[in-house]
Amino acid sequence: MAEDLQALIDRLQREAVEDGQRKARAIVEQAEARAATLLREAEAEAKRVLEQAEHDAKAFTERSQVALEQAGRDLLITVSQSIEHVLAGLVRESLEQQLQPDLLAEMLVKMAHAYSSRSGRERRMAVLLGPEDLDALVRYYTQRLHEKLPQGVDLRLDNSVVKGFRVALVDEHVEHDFTIDAIADALTHHLRPHLAEILPRVAPQVSEAAAPVAATSSEASAGPS
């Protein structure tokens, strides 16, 4: 009887141990499966974050490139406008020196000759001048102009004319503008395409010259602490 009881106890202990081992293995297997799932999820999330970071970096680089290109274009436009303003000032200054009464008179004489030679019909020419040039031309050149247009030349005061003149064929109601403003605008307009060709060629040289300076400045700021 005692032997049967001991066998029963041994069997129960053995079964309890085996059941505990089964449960322990199940717990371990579940833990391993959960760990593998978490690892896969972590790897997938890391990959997604990395891809998003690469996408964001690419988009940022593209936006930065566009912004830099736009800034470069804006700079060229600003520089072009500034140079054009300086150029217009130089053209006007040169014209102020050149458009003296003797030159204006020679221009008018040639124009009078050109108008009179267009046909046999005589024409009357009206010339609008500023105060200073009008006085000089009245004193010195009226006769020469009259010789070219026998029907007459009217020299008239126009306070809006600073330098140069406007000339009109009275019979044909045609007017030509040779004031300093009109000539300066025409010359500046003529020179503008040449300026537009020069700036793009100069811009890369300016960028290349500026690059070493920027690099040196960056290296200096990152020097030994």
Q: What is the pLDDT of residue 151?
A: 56
Q: Which two tokens stand for residue 214?
A: 């920027």
Give the Cα separation of 103 and 93 in Å (integer). 16
Q: Is the pLDDT of residue 181 over 80?
A: yes
Burial class (CB in 10 A: 0-12, 13-18, 19+), 17: exposed
Name which of 157, 83, 148, 78 is nearest 115 in CA terms.
148
Give the Cα separation of 221 and 225 in Å (integer). 10
How many CB atoms neighbour CB 84 within 10 A? 15
pLDDT tens, residue by residue, 52-91: 999 989 888 888 888 888 887 787 778 777 877 888 888 8
3-class DSSP state of 163:
coil
Choice between 176 and 204, residue whose per-residue pLDDT is larger: 176
User: In which residue are the tokens 């964001």 written?
Assistant: 56
pTM confidence score: 0.48
Give the Cα separation of 78 and 200 in Å (integer). 13
pLDDT mean across residues, the chain? 75
Q: What is the pLDDT of residue 143?
A: 61
What ranges do the domains of the chain cover?
1-42, 62-98, 100-183
CATH 3.30.2320.30 fits 100-183, yes or no: yes
pLDDT tens, residue by residue, 42-53: 889 899 999 999
